[in-house]
Amino acid sequence: MGNLIPLILLACVAQVLNSRMQLEPRTITLLRGETAQLICSTAEPWQVMVWILNGGSVLTISAQYGILSNNPNVTARNCSTNQLSSWEFTLKRVQRSYQGQVTCDLQNIQRQTANLFVQEKGNVAITGGNVTVLKGEEILFQCLAVGWYPEPSLTWLVNGREVDQGQYNISTEGPVDVDGLYNLTSNLSIQAAESSHVECLASVSTLPTPQASSVHLTVVAEVGVENVCDNCAVLIAVTASVSAVLLLLLLSICIVLCYRRRRRAKSSLPEAIRIDESKSGRSSVAEATGGEVNLGYTTEGHSDAGRSVLIVTGETHSQMNSISTHKIPDVVSSSNFSLTTSQSNAPTDPCGDGSKTVRRMTTV
């Protein structure tokens, strides 16, 4: 009991001493580049207040004259009331080198210290970009978190749901430079069951929202087969029907064209034969006689033409001397006449009907 009394008295004295000044907050954590603000207050009369960062004086304030030093990165503002004398200390654009202790020293009264932590926000990215795989395949995603302090927390999300930590691993590399930054690598292996949105999140305590990187996983079996095959039967039926109609139409057009061509060929065949016979007969006589075809000649009957005999003499004159005949056709079939160049007498009629027609022609 006797030992407790001195301890209680010591605690009371410490409490009285501590109440002579206050420094708030006692711990402050910021991202690099942000602004740190602390307030030092006291109810005691004081003369000089000195702000110290990691053992070095950065700002001096006089109770009578105000701020005595000039530092562009450090400012102070008097926010005293009737009961308390208070000054707000502001440290602009904090850097990683500022991390440590910030002390408010009320000379000849008391000093108190706060802890300043400066964090670094790095980058995060899923390598490889969007991925397309077949259903059931194993796919590996890799996430890189580079340039963080302290070591960030890293998580995976698939379609907005957090992935169990047993499905991925994390390897840490750091500190990698004089700033003590960390790099992390994480690998996630999943089985492609459906198309998914995959995210990798990295964060430190001062970030309001995590840094995120996302990619899209496309499962071909789902998008290319399952959804499409729901309408496969309809598509095949429509295609088959259209193909059948087009085939029938094509066959009908071919049949009509073939039929019209055959009709035209049949109707033009007799006329072609007559023209060919006429041309061949005329050409044979013209070639044999050396004369020209008389296009104005008209036959007078089959009996006379069939019984006509043509005799050509071999005499050579400057002009035609005489042509004696009853009927002289210009075009005679080769079967209805006999061409003679060495004789001048006409042959007898084999039919014996006593009637003859003798034609005599002298050619030049």
Domains and CATH numbers, the chain: 18-119 (2.60.40.10), 123-220 (2.60.40.10)
Higher pLDDT, 264 or 223: 264
Higher pLDDT, 347 or 38: 38
Across the chain, mean pLDDT equals 76
Instruction: Say if residue 16's pLDDT is above 60.
Output: no
CA atoms within 13 A on the CB side of 68: 12
Q: What is the mean pLDDT of residues 205-227?
A: 80
How far, rounded to the nearest angstrom, does the alpha carbon of residue 6 sit from its chain's CA centroid? 83
Q: What is the mean pLDDT of residues 212-220?
A: 94
Q: For the full predicted model, state whether its pTM sits above 0.85.
A: no
Count Cβ neighbours within 10 Å for each residue of 177-204 and write b for 16 or more, e otherwise: eeeebbbbbbebebebeebbebbbbbbb
Reported as a pLDDT band with limits 50, 70 and 90, residue 262 is: confident
The reported pLDDT for the residue numbered 310 is: 40
Reported as a pLDDT band with limits 50, 70 and 90, residue 169 is: very high
At position 251, the amino acid (one-letter code) is: L
Instruction: Say if residue 332's pLDDT is above 60.
Output: no
The reported pLDDT for the residue numbered 239 is: 87
Higher pLDDT, 131 or 175: 131
